Amino acid sequence: MAAPIDNVLITQFSNLLHVEAQQTKSRLMGRFQSVPVTGDEWAYDGTGTVEARTANERNPRISPTNPEFSRRRMLRDRILVELIVDNRDVRGMFEDPNSKLVRDCMYAIYRKADKIGIDALFASVATGRRFDTTVTFAGEGGQTVNATAGLTYAKLLEIRENFRSKEVGTDMPEGIILGLSEQEETQLFNITQLTSGDFSRNYVVDKGQVVSVLGMDIVCFGSAVDNPQLAVASAVRDCFAASTKGLIYGMSKEFGVKVIPDYPGYVESTYIQVLGEIGAVRTDGDRIQKVQTTAS
């Protein structure tokens, strides 16, 4: 008969999972701002552009301007991982500090967190004091770069120019993230201006990976997995370029762990549940670009 799973091992497993959550980051959540959310919905409050003026005349009159304020609604999603594991297998998994089960749970959570962020980049956003106005990605200045003929050096320069034209990262430094698949990454390897010392001494290839191009950090998502992160429709893939200030994450619930041994309805099996709530919202259309490529 399989040995029962005692409370000490359950507590140890929960602690390991929390440690793994602190040490492991999703590909996107660690790059964007994250805030705690307490209610069912949360509002991101932003401001518009503030301009200075000259006042060289004597006794100048005051001329105040009314600053623009905007509110954006962030909805939260419940993220859940559920496992039912035979007790003959689970004891070793609970005792092992490097348990694959712990890592698999957190990787699954963070993959979903990345997907929530990617979807929020181009989603319509409810705005206004009562969230009664909806703005689309294109409607608030979001730009789309057509790179279906290839992600060339000229297209990378176009992305950079689009951000520069809106002064993204010029007043205050902002990180830029270029999210793409391994197919676009391979195209980058074939761009001589990026890989040849004849053009630059700042090499962008490190240990077989393209780490940055034109000041943009590369984040790669696999295209051949069961649930690809980057959407593909009619052989067109939606990659993205985003400022680190262009998206904000909200977490309304720390990831909780529930372990129930001898779960009803199963023979000598343990039920494991990892639960959290995460949301994301685009802060500014000028800070996000959709980069469309051809999926092969």
Q: Is 148 helix (H, G, I), strand (E, B) or coil?
A: coil
**Amino acid in the structure at residue 40:** D
> What is the CATH code of the structural domain delimited by 7-46+69-294?
3.90.1690
Q: What is the pLDDT of residue 52?
A: 77
Return the higher-pLDDT residue of 100 and 141. 141
User: Per-domain residue ranges for the chain?
Assistant: 7-46+69-294
**pLDDT for residue 171 is more than 90:** no
Return the higher-pLDDT residue of 258 and 279. 279
User: What's the mean pLDDT when you consider all of the chain?
Assistant: 83
**Nearest Cα to Cα of residue 139 among 240, 282, 43, 42:** 282
Position 44 confidence tier, pLDDT thresholds 50, 70, 90: confident
Return the higher-pLDDT residue of 191 and 162. 162
Position 95 confidence tier, pLDDT thresholds 50, 70, 90: low
Position 97 confidence tier, pLDDT thresholds 50, 70, 90: very low
Q: What is the pLDDT of residue 153?
A: 93
Report the C-alpha gap between 96 and 92 in whole angstroms. Answer: 6
Under DSSP, the state recorded for 2 is P
Tell me the average pLDDT across 191-219.
72
Q: Which residues pair with 274 in a beta bridge?
A: 81, 257
Tell me the average pLDDT across 201-206.
56
Q: What is the pLDDT of residue 272?
A: 82
Q: Could you report the per-residue pLDDT of 69-78, keeping only the tens digit for each?
A: 678 999 888 8
Position 5 confidence tier, pLDDT thresholds 50, 70, 90: low
- What the block records as the tokens of 81 is 């991982």
Position 1 confidence tier, pLDDT thresholds 50, 70, 90: very low
**pLDDT for residue 129 is more than 50:** yes
- In angstroms, how far apart are the furthest CA atoms of the chain? 94
Number of residues assigned to the chain: 296
Tell me the average pLDDT across 109-137.
92
pLDDT winner (highest mean) among 63-67, 169-173, 282-286: 282-286
